[in-house]
Amino acid sequence: MTQSKVALTLGEIAAATQGELKGNRETQIFGAASLAEATADEISFFYNPRYSTQLRKTRAAAVFVPPDFSDEIGAAIIRVKSPAKAFEQIAMRFAPAPVKFAPGIHPSAVIDKSVQLGEHVSIQPHVVVEAGAQIGADTIIGAGSYVGHDVVLGVGCMIYPQVTIRERCRIGAHAILHSGVVIGADGFGFELTAEGQQKVPQIGIVQIDDGVEIGANSTIDRARFGRTWIQEGAKIDNLVQIAHNVVIGKHTVIAAQTGIAGSVRIGQRVMIGGQVGIIGHVEIADGTAIGAQTGVSKNLKGGVWWATPSVPLREAKLHLVWVRRLGEFFERVKKLETKLGL
């Protein structure tokens, strides 16, 4: 992390994080960084034994550690309940002030006269907002974004540059859409006729509820009819494709490069790893966890799943062990055949 002009003593840091300090209270800290990158006037954190080597080698002046940490290291230590959370808290003290956008409409923006704008809305250069749209108070729309006809944006949204929200879609309060997101593109529907592929009309919408965050270059397609629905608090990573009529439950988390086919229903608090593929019309129960690169081809009723096709994690690990031992198994069979003269 680039050093800030802020300086905190270890005593101040320990007090702010309710930690137990072992070291000089007057030592000044000017920044926060990882174990591998920290310098002699920065603080870091340690919580996972896999980083023990980095801990021994770190140049950090001080390190947040768990309450039961007892090793001797060169740096001062601050024992806290959650080293990662304590580090995050202090790192924010050293971070630069967040970028702020003043309320108002940039002269280059194109805003239809019928658009309803809430108080303190900020619309940046080259934004287009079409007729009938409603923009909630304190919402920010970044440069070059497009808000289509009759779109509704709730209060306090952050729409980063180059986002597209097409006609009639609904975005709740405090949603965050990162650059390149496309909301409401047509669902992928075609029927083969004698004349070739015939497009199936996609006349539904996308509804995104309060507190949803969608990563860069992710796409959420409008429904064939009805709605594609992203429920409250869901978090979607970069480069995720969500097809027509999918429902994503509350507080579900989806990692990058996942693809979800049409009419899938995903429950609440589901965790989906990167590069997962889910075929259409399946249901995934509340609380299910799906490992990276899993191929889901059937309904999942909770638990942890992995591999393609998806199987319970324990079973997937067993299959992996079997595959890796196939060479040894074939050698043993070959020796037995030789011994038996086969």
pLDDT in tens, 284-302: 999 999 999 999 999 999 9
pLDDT confidence tier of residue 4, bands split at 50, 70 and 90: low
* Cβ neighbours, 10 Å, residue 179: 17
Residue type, position 180, single letter = G
Q: Is 167 helix (H, G, I), strand (E, B) or coil?
A: coil
Residue type, position 138, single letter = D
Length of the chain: 342
Residues with Cβ within 8 Å of 316's Cβ and at least 6 positions away in sequence, in order, are: 291, 305, 306, 307
* DSSP letter for each residue of 125-150: TT-EE-TT-EE-TT-EE-TT-EE-TT
Give the pLDDT confidence of 165-189 residue by residue, as tens digits: 999 999 999 999 999 999 999 999 9
Whether residue 198 contacts residue 220, with contact meaning beta carbons closer than 8 Å, is answered with no
Query: For residue 322, what pLDDT is reported?
Result: 82
- Name the one residue in this structure whose structure tokens are 């919580």: 47
Give the pLDDT confidence of 7-43 residue by residue, as tens digits: 999 999 999 999 999 999 999 999 999 999 999 999 9
Phi-psi region of 115 (alpha: psi -120 to 50; beta: other; left: phi over 0): beta
Helix residue ranges per DSSP H, 216-325: 313-324
- Residue 207 CA to residue 204 CA, distance in Å, equals 10
DSSP 224: S
Closest to 181 (Cα-Cα) out of 214, 211, 144: 214
- Name the one residue in this structure whose structure tokens are 């043993």: 332
Residue type, position 219, single letter = T
Catalytic-role residue among 244, 251, 281, 319 = 244
User: Residue 185 belongs to what H/E stretch?
Assistant: strand 182-185
Determine whether domain 8-94 maps to CATH 3.40.1390.10: yes
pTM of the full structure: 0.86
Q: What CATH superfamily is the domain 104-315?
A: Hexapeptide repeat proteins (2.160.10.10)
Residues of the chain with CATH 2.160.10.10: 104-315
Residues of the chain with CATH 3.40.1390.10: 8-94
Long-range contacts (CB closer than 8 Å, 24 or more residues apart) made by 303-309:
308/277
* Whether the predicted pLDDT of 282 surpasses 80: yes
Whether residue 13 contacts residue 29, with contact meaning beta carbons closer than 8 Å, is answered with yes
User: Is 174 annotated as catalytic?
Assistant: no
| Opening angle at CA 249, ends 243 and 251, nearest 5 | 120
Give the pLDDT confidence of 44-63 residue by residue, as tens digits: 999 999 999 999 999 999 99
b vs e for 2-17, b when ≥16 Cβ sit within 10 Å of the residue's Cβ?
eeeeeebebebbbeeb
What is the C-alpha end-to-end distance of the chain, expressed in Å? 67
- Residue 103 CA to residue 121 CA, distance in Å, equals 5
* Whether the predicted pLDDT of 2 surpasses 80: no
Closest to 294 (Cα-Cα) out of 279, 308, 314: 308
